[in-house]
Structure 1
Amino acid sequence: MSKLSENVRRKVAQLQVRHEGLKKKSYGFLVRPLTLLAGWLFVVGGILIIPTPGPGWFLLFFGIGVLSFELTWPNRLLDYGLRQYDRAEEYWKRQGTAMKSLIIVVFLVGCAIVFSGIFWVMWNTGMLGFTKTWLEPWVDKLPDWIGLK
C-alpha cells in the first residue's frame, strides 16, 4: 500500500468519526447536503489540479472518501481507485529513465491537446469575449502558423 493510500484512508477514517458526531447535533439535517457539496468540490478540485504540481490525486481520493459518508457507491470506487493508483505507482517505479521521459512527454502532449480544445471551444462560443480584443489578432493567425489554413 502506497503512502498516498495510507494517508487517504487515515484522513477519511478520522473525518468519518467527526461526521457521525455532527449528524447527532441539532443541525444534523445540514450535514448530508454540506458533506455531498464538500465531497464533490474536492473531487472536481482534485481532477483540475492533477496535471499540476500539487495534491491532485490526494484531493480526488479524499473527495470520493467524503462522498462515501453519505453514498454507498463511492466506497467501491475509492477502493478500486486506490488499488489502481498503487499499481500505477509500482509500474512507474519499475521503469527506466527513457520510459519515464516518454510517459511524461505523452502526458504533457495530452494535457496540451485537452486544454487547447477547451480554449478553442470557449473561443468559438464567445465565452472569452473579454479577451478577444487583445488576443484576436494572435488567435486568428494561429491556424496559418501551424499550417491549417
Structure 2
Amino acid sequence: MNTGSGGPGEVAMTADDARTGEARTEAEQGLGSRAPEFVKARRVLHLSWQVGIFIVGLAVVIAGIIMLPLPGPGWVVIFGGMAIWATEFVWAQLVLRWTKRKVTEAAQRALDPRVRKRNIILTSIGLVVIGAILGFYVWKFGFEMPWKIKDQ
C-alpha cells in the first residue's frame, strides 16, 4: 500500500519497502497489476479481474465523457476512470504519470508571478471589452433579446 500523495519525485513506501527499510520514487516503482496475490496466482481469475476492471473503468470514462457537455465534473470523472484502469493496465499507468507531470508543470507555470500578472491583465482587458459590447447592445436595443429585435 502506497503512502503519500504520489507527487513527482515523492518517495513512496510499499509494505515490502517498509519491511526492508527502503523507499522508492514513483519512477522506480514497478508497473503492472495491483491485483491481490491470490487473484494474480490464478490465470482465469486474473483475466476475469482485468475484464471487470476494464468494464468498470470504461463505464466511469463514458460517464465522464457524457458529463463534458452536461453539468458535472466531466474531466475529473474521466481521470477517475483512468485511475481505475491504472490499477491493472500499464498503458493507463503511463498515461496517468504523463498527465500528472503535465498538470504539475502547468500549475507551476500558472503560479509564476510574471504569468499570473499577464493572465490578470488579459482577463481584465477581456472583461472590459465584453462590458463595452454589452453596454453598447443595451444602449442600442435595450434589454430586448436578439431574436425579438424588430427592424429599426
Q: More helix per residue: 1 or 2? A: 1
The structure, 1 or 2, with the larger RCO (C-alpha pairs under 8 Å, 6+ apart) is 1
User: Greater CA radius of gyration, 1 or 2?
Assistant: 2
TM tier relative to shorter chain: 0.3 to 0.5
